[in-house]
Copies of this chain bind each other. A is one copy, B any other.
Amino acid sequence: MRDVAVIGTGMTKFGSLGRVTSRELVTAASIEAMKDAGIEPKDIDAVYIGQLSGDIFEHQMHAAPGIPDYLGLANVPATRVEAACASGGLSIMHAVMAVAGGFYDLVLAAGAEKMTNLPTAHVTEALSMCADDVFEVSLGVTFPGAFAMMARAHDKEYGTNAEMRAAVAVKNHEHALLNPKAQFQKQISIDKVLNSIMIADPLTLYDCSPITDGAAAAIVVPWEDRHKYEGIPVKVRSFAQASDTMSLHDRSDLTGFTTTKIAAQKAFRMANLEPKDIDILEIHDCFTIAEIMALEDMGFYKKGEGGRAALDGETRRDGHLPVNVSGGLKAKGHPIGATGVAQVVEIANQLRGKAGKRQVADVEIGMTQNLGGSGSTIVCHILERGD
Contacts and interface: CB of A to CB of B under 8 A. Distances in A.
Given A97-B103, A244-B75, A373 B53 contact: no
A129 interface: yes
Interface of A: 1, 21, 23, 47, 52-56, 58-62, 64-66, 68-69, 74-84, 90, 94, 97-98, 100-103, 126, 129-134, 137, 241-247, 250, 258-259, 262, 372-373, 376-377
Contacts of A53: 55, 61
A55 B129 contact: yes
Contacts of A21: 134
A130 B61 contact: yes
Contact of A376 (B65, B101, B242): B65
B97 A64 contact: no
Contacts of A243: 47, 64-65, 68-69, 75-78
The 8 closest A-B pairs by CB, nearest first: A101-B101, A77-B241, A65-B243, A65-B376, A62-B84, A62-B130, A60-B133, A78-B243
A103 B131 CA distance: 28
A260 to B, nearest CB: 11
B62 A129 contact: yes
The residue among A61, A64, A90, A137 with the most chain B CB atoms within 10 A of its own CB is A61
A377 B134 contact: no
A244 B64 CA distance: 10
A68 B244 CA distance: 8
A247 B376 CA distance: 36
Contacts of A75: 242-244, 258-259, 262
A47 B373 CA distance: 17
Nearest to A379: B77
